[in-house]
Amino acid sequence: SQQGEEDPQALSIQEGENATMNCSYKTSINNLQWYRQNSGRGLVHLILIRSNEREKHSGRLRVTLDTSKKSSSLLITASRAADTASYFCATGRTGGFKTIFGAGTRLFVKA
Partner 1 sequence: GAVVSQHPSRVICKSGTSVKIECRSLDFQATTMFWYRQFPKQSLMLMATSNEGSKATYEQGVEKDKFLINHASLTLSTLTVTSAHPEDSSFYICSARASFPGGSSTNEKLFFGSGTQLSVL
Least distance in Å: CB of 11 to partner 1?
14
Q: Cβ(36)–Cβ(21) under 8 Å?
A: no
Q: Which is nearer to partner 1, 16 or 57 (CB)?
A: 57
Contact 18, 78 (CB under 8 A): yes
Residue closer to partner 1 by CB (options 78, 90) is 90
Site of interaction with partner 1 (CB under 8 A):
2, 30-31, 33, 35, 40-45, 48, 88, 90, 92, 97-104, 106
Residue number, 18 or 88, with CB nearest to partner 1: 88
- Angstrom distance (rounded) from CA 6 to CA 85: 14
